[in-house]
């Protein structure tokens, strides 16, 4: 398939030549949270057919944004990971996520899918380094069957799939409650008071959670 080009000698246009095709940035979003197998990508990107997924991955490989790897034992299966160039698209993806949380996240549509694991990048995009100054904590989030955690240390954050070995605080909620909190229809404190969310661990770290991960106030585009 021929790659379309804006044919402009401009850094923005050249970048969009590489990542502007449909699904490409979402593939990079998936790989920003770690290597993924072909089936993992297909499961997370409903609506992306097998053939188009293969085409997009070949494009990312050809352009030096992704590479094939073999997962370590016990998996030992082929997977895809970002290259250094692909990883450096992370801040751009997070900026798009922050913009979307403010300007684009109204009610979910019936045709839209949601995976709680996408919140890994959401946590990074909402992270406030100033509020996390001098904070060292491991927050674990359990949203139905999805478990992930965030390590905060001296104004830096790392988010990972799977449970933490020694979480300092654990937050458990349903997918519906998580979406309501994300849309600001409900605060985390309110969901805890109503019994829709369970929060265990260090009370001080739980108290600081809302400041460390700060959702931007919603705004209307029109």
Using one digit for the tens of pLDDT, what is the confidence trace for 69-78?
999 888 889 9
- Over 60: is that where the pLDDT of 2 sits? no
187 compared with 1, residue with greater pLDDT:
187
Using the predicted structure, report yes or no on whether residue 84 has a pLDDT greater than 50: yes
Whole-number Cα distances in Å, 47 to 41, 43, 53, 177, 192:
11, 9, 10, 25, 35
User: For the whole model, what pTM was predicted?
Assistant: 0.88
Bridging pattern class, strands 156-161 and 197-201: unpaired
Residue 87 confidence (pLDDT): 97
Structure tokens at 177: 């409650």
Could you tell me the CA-to-CA distances from 56 to 46, 79, 149 in Å, in that order? 15, 14, 29
**C-alpha dist (Å) from residue 146 to 18, 78, 103, 110, 184:** 32, 23, 26, 21, 21
1: pLDDT confidence band, cut at 50, 70 and 90? very low
Reported as type and span, the H/E element at residue 44 is: helix 38-44
Domain ranges of the chain: 11-88, 116-212
75: Cα separation from own chain's centroid: 23
- φ and ψ of 9, to 5 deg: -85, 75
Average pLDDT over residues 128-144: 95
* Rg over CA atoms, the chain: 19
Residue 125: C-alpha distances to residues 84, 98, 213 (Å): 20, 6, 8
Average pLDDT in the 121-143 region? 94
Of 200, 216, 219, give the one whose Cα is nearest residue 128. Answer: 216
Is pLDDT above 90 for 109? no
Whether 103 has a pLDDT exceeding 90, the answer reads yes
DSSP 213: B
List strand residue ranges (DSSP E) for 9-145, in order: 66-70, 78-82, 136-143
How much of the chain, in percent, has pLDDT values that exceed 90?
Answer: 79
122 class by beta-carbon count within 10 Å (0-12 exposed, 13-18 middle, 19+ buried): buried
Confidence at 30, pLDDT banded by 50, 70, 90:
very high
Mean pLDDT confidence for 115-129: 91
Residue 131 pLDDT > 50: yes
Average pLDDT, the chain: 93
The pLDDT score that the predictor gives to residue 199 is 96
Q: List pLDDT tens digits, range 166-218.
A: 999 999 999 999 999 988 888 899 999 999 999 999 999 999 998 999 988 88
pLDDT, residue 185, reads: 87
Q: Do the domains at 11-88 and 116-212 have one common CATH topology?
A: no
Q: Where does 11-88 sit in CATH, by number?
A: 1.10.10.10
Contact between 152 and 139 under an 8 Å Cβ cutoff? The reply is yes
CATH of 116-212, one of 3.30.1050.10, 3.90.550.10, 3.40.50.300, 3.40.50.10490: 3.30.1050.10
């Amino acid at each position: 398939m021929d790659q379309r080009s804006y044919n402009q000698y401009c850094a923005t246009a050249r970048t969009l030549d590489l990542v502007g095709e449909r699904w490409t940035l979402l593939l990079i979003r998936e790989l920003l949270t770690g290597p993924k197998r072909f089936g993992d990508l297909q499961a997370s990107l409903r609506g992306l057919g097998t053939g188009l997924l293969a085409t997009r991955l070949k494009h990312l490989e050809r352009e030096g944004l992704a590479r094939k790897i073999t997962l370590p034992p016990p998996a030992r299966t082929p997977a895809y990971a970002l290259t250094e160039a692909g990883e450096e698209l992370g801040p751009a993806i997070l900026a798009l996520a922050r913009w979307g949380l403010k300007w684009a996240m109204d009610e979910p549509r019936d045709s839209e899918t949601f995976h709680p694991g996408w919140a890994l990048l959401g946590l990074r995009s909402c992270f406030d380094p100033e509020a996390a100054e001098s904070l060292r904590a491991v927050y674990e989030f359990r949203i139905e069957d999805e478990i992930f955690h965030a390590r905060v240390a001296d104004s830096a954050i790392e988010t990972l799939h799977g449970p933490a070995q020694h979480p300092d605080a654990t937050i458990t909620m349903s997918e519906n409650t998580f979406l309501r909190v994300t849309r600001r229809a409900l605060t985390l404190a309110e969901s805890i008071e109503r019994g829709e969310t369970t929060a265990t661990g260090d009370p001080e770290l739980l108290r600081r959670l809302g400041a460390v991960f700060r959702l931007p106030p919603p705004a209307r585009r029109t």
